Structures are given as structure tokens and as C-alpha cells.
Amino acid sequence: MEKILLAIDAGAPCKKALDFACYLARLTKSKLTGVFLDNLASAEIPLAITEKVMAGAYDEKDAYSIARKMIETNIEAFRQECINQEVNCTVHRDHGVPADDIITESRFADVLVIDAETSFKKKFEGPPSVFVQDVLKRAECPVIIAPALFEFAEEIFFAYNGSASSVFAIKQFTYLFPQLANRKVTILQASETGRWEDSQKHRFNEWLKGHYSNLHFEALYGKGDSAFFDYLLKKENIILVMGAYGRTALSQFFKTSTADMLIKTITQPIFIAHH
């Protein structure tokens, strides 16, 4: 892997997302591109500036100038943090519609890192924001939801249901992160019988053995959503890999509502790839 994108709200960067993106960049020896997104030219100035204008601390005519200076400060802080973490970085400034801008950027990247709460609305939306949902549906490279806290990838969980979509996500992750080949890998499947149900397991296992040395297949009892919630909520220092988000029933692994709930509740990184 060569190019990691980090989607950044230019007016309110997320430190935890930057730290995680730097971890991935060091792991893979990739360049980190910070994409600073703002809509100053066409819409609203950042909330922090708006509040000060309303309080009388700033004159409204100076608000855009102040916002631009704040963004420049944030960009310099990003560069300095990358230097501190020994990560090769570059910066892109995008001034259009944030979701459209990051989708265009994703076409020419290996993976996109994003914080689930990234939003360009003044009202708090909670994770995943409307902006993040849009990016997950339209991204042209795999997306990783940055975790709340992360130290080290001790175990990788592959969510698998036998579909082309779930296998595609697993293959994309494997090709992008060969550095994690020595980690414990657990392939999860949920079924109403609690038994592994896939006639192609031997072929899947054969392919996985060519990439990983510590494999475990685990069948969870129950339906996919509740079974995965209960199981994954207890895990720490993991990476969850899952299939397409918000696509048709034939190509998505989870319903959108289930994927959203995982993003809301799982504090670990989630890798999502489209088929």
C-alpha cells in the first residue's frame, strides 16, 4: 500500500483519527494524505467561529478570515504531528462539497480513514453522521472507521456469510495489510443453528492459509446483528472487516441499520469494502 487518505474537518480535526491513521502509515510505510475539507466558499463557517460571532467576540465580516487562519493553524498542526510520529505526509485542501470532494479523492487512494462523527452540520448527529454514511455508500476505495481508542492490532475478525461481498472485503484487507499476516485471525459466521454453514469452507480455508498462519473459524448462535454485537462488544485491540455498506440486498453483508449500529457501539476500527 502506498497512499492512505485521512478525511479531516478542516475546522475541527479529530486527534484520535489522526493517531490511528499515523499507526497505519507507520505499519505499512505509506504516505498519509490529510484531506482538509471545508465549505467556507458556499455554506457555513465552522461552529467554533459562529459561536464567537454570536457572542460578539468577532465581527461577522471577519468570520471567514478568522476561519481560514484557524484552518491554516490546523494544517500546520497536522504536519507537525506527522513529523512527531515519523510519518511521511502531504496535505490536500478541498473547498467544494465535502462528501463529493472526498469521494473524488478516494478514487486515487488505497484506503480512506474517517472518524464516524465527522460532520459539517452545526447540530450533533452522533455516529455515523450523514456525511459519513454518504461516504461509506459512495467511496471508491476501502474505508476504515477510526476507533475511539487503539493501541495494537492483536486480532483480526473477518465477518463472513459466504457472499462474494464478504469475501471481497477480506481479500482487499489482506492485500492492503500483509504486515498483519502473523496476527490471530478469526472468521466469524452467525447462524440460527450455531454451526458453520458453508459448503465452500475448505476452499476459503485453503486461500486464507496462503496469507495467515493463525486461523480460527467460529460460528455464533443467532442472527447476524445481535450475535455480532454481543460477541464483539467484549473485544479490545481488534480490527473488524466487513462487506459492502448500503448496497443492494445481494451485495451487502449487513443491512444499513446493522452496520450503523456496529459503528455506534463498537469502539474498535472497522474496515468496510464495497464489492
Q: Kindly report, residue by residue over 106-139, the tens digit of the pLDDT.
A: 999 999 999 998 887 766 667 788 889 889 889 9
Q: Could you say which architecture CATH assigns to the domain 3-145?
A: 3-Layer(aba) Sandwich (3.40)
How many angstroms separate the CA atoms of 141 and 112, rounded? 7
Q: In angstroms, rounded to a whole number, what is the distance separating the alpha carbons of residues 161 and 191?
A: 9
Q: What is the architecture of the domain spanning 155-272?
A: 3-Layer(aba) Sandwich (3.40)
What does the radius of gyration of the chain's CA atoms come to, in whole angstroms?
20
Q: Where in the chain is the domain with CATH 3.40.50.620?
A: 3-145, 155-272
Per-residue confidence (pLDDT) for residue 267, from 0 to 100: 76
CA distances from 18 to 8, 9, 81, 159 (A): 9, 12, 9, 26
Distance CA 191, CA 197 (A): 7
Task: Please name the residues in contact with 109: beta carbons below 8 A apart, sequence gap of 6 or more.
Answer: 3, 4, 5, 33, 141
For the cut 80, the answer to whether the pLDDT of residue 59 exceeds it is: no
Can you give the pTM of this predicted structure?
Answer: 0.86
Q: How many CA atoms lie within 13 A of 218 on its CB side?
A: 17
Q: Which residue type does 262 have?
A: L
Q: Could you read off the pLDDT of 242-272 as tens digits, one per residue?
A: 886 544 433 344 445 556 666 766 778 999 9
> Mean pLDDT across the stretch 64-70?
77
In this structure, what C-alpha cell is assigned to residue 75? 494544517
Q: In degrees rounded to 5, what are phi and psi of residue 61?
A: -65, -20
> How, if at all, do strands 143-145 and 111-114 pair?
parallel
